Structure 1
């Protein structure tokens, strides 16, 4: 997109504002704690993700509820979206949707507008599936001493979905931001459980210190970080059906590039114009939904 005079003025103003913050402020802007970097990226067109290239259609409201989780030691909310023409009890395959930080199951089933894009693709032969999400908390989807959202996901939520008639043996896991990291960790932890793994804008870090600087609650200790560092385990992704997409202006893009360069197959990573936002997530969703539908066929 051409850079107009207005955009240049906006960018200049944003740059001046960032400079005035000083070194500590710049660190916060880089981590997206302060809005300067986002303003600058938008002003320069770095967040102008390509418009989705697939039809969308309306979907029924989500089915919601809760269940008692032993793994998380609390009541856990969930949401399930069925495609048009299907109702609770339908034996559909499942796309697990993992939400980001400070989010929940209801937001996850709407992330990327997966259900809407699937509804638009059904007349063109797409395999129908349910989009289902549990509340995973803010613990980055990995086990903690008093909270195991990943164990809940596989050992409790999937059996609950099976009890509702869904085909819990035909499953894809997808996630956005913190949930994108969670999807990658799920792939490594349960290698044979998922037909495909889709991570969008995964919130991964270069180091434990980096993680603590951006989100002090992501990992409880350096040892816990090391156990769940997906970049250090990059070679273990060999043979796994993984897709990763991230915007080039996303603050997590440098760490994702490091992961990409260590993967057995770097081509599974798609880095294109975009930021860490819904516009980018929607732009990559149609291709992801097509891939998920194909993985869940048969």
Structure 2
């Protein structure tokens, strides 16, 4: 019985059997250290919407920033995760509280990219919406600097942040990808999130791991919890990157506690990049 129980526990631990999240919680693997945060509450994000031809619908957006004075402000695009939205994106990792207490020279800007994994589909192009519609709107409607931007993303948005660097490299100043939801192959993607990719060919075009060499020289950081279910695929990506040191594994799971824990260092990195 002891051998059988031990074998079952090992299968759960390697996500062969269900229950890995419960096991991780019980073993303290999700106990990412809470960050020290400024006491002052930030102002609520500004919101708006626009008509997107790239997405074929009205797209909502949200903005959060540090006090600007007379400084021109740059942009950090915030890419939300699956099932999330712009307001949740700008609030992830305590970014608004950190920005409100800092002199960060940028606005955190999030637009609704839907659940299509940020890459182009036949009738929906959320990544094209960000770079060809949303950024020009931020310049014309809000007076922001959009010539070169940073990108931050969480989960599906972390994958989208990496894909944006590959697709719009000349416009990217820095990328901060948190817990990027990267799959090992098309079959893995179909098993976990059916519809994320339209076909094997669609997967092949947008597989960031296969294109890892193209990220050479790009200012980049990837943060992920060691107990995150996407950690094995991110390790595979790390091993193919020209500079594997941009990937950091620390205690945590695929949740807000982990994203809060790395938020302060990410905002510091973004501030330096956009200064």
Asked whether the two chains share a fold, i.e. TM above 0.5, the reply is yes
TM superposition shift of 1:217: 1.4
In the alignment, what sits opposite 1:148? 125
In the alignment, what sits opposite 2:213? 235
Cα 1:56–1:239, aligned 2, differ >3 Å: closer, same or farther?
farther
1:112 aligns with 2:90: no
Cα 1:267–1:53, aligned 2, differ >3 Å: closer, same or farther?
farther
What per-residue deviation string (whole Å, max 9, x for no partner) do you get for residues 228-267 of structure 1? Answer: 0000001111011111000000000000000000000000
In the alignment, what sits opposite 2:155? 177
TM superposition shift of 1:51: 2.1
In the alignment, what sits opposite 1:214? 192
More moved, 54-63 vs 278-287 = 54-63
TM-score of the superposition, structure 1-length normalised? 0.85
CA distance in 2, matches of 1:244, 1:72: 28
CA distance in 2, matches of 1:54, 1:102: 27
1:39 aligns with 2:22: yes
1:161 aligns with 2:142: no
CA distance in 2, matches of 1:57, 1:210: 43
In the alignment, what sits opposite 1:255? 233
1:226 aligns with 2:207: no
Q: How does 1:25-64 map to 2 (within 5 A)?
A: 27=16, 29=18, 36-53=19-36, 55=38, 57-64=40-47
Q: Secondary structure at the match of 2:253?
A: coil
Cα 1:152–1:116, aligned 2, differ >3 Å: closer, same or farther?
same
Q: How does 1:54-203 map to 2 (within 5 A)?
A: 55=38, 57-84=40-67, 91-120=72-101, 122=102, 126-163=103-140, 164-203=142-181
TM-score of the superposition, structure 2-length normalised? 0.92
TM superposition shift of 1:273: 0.8
CA distance in 2, matches of 1:57, 1:28: 44
In the alignment, what sits opposite 1:281? 259
How many residue pairs end up in the alignment?
A: 267
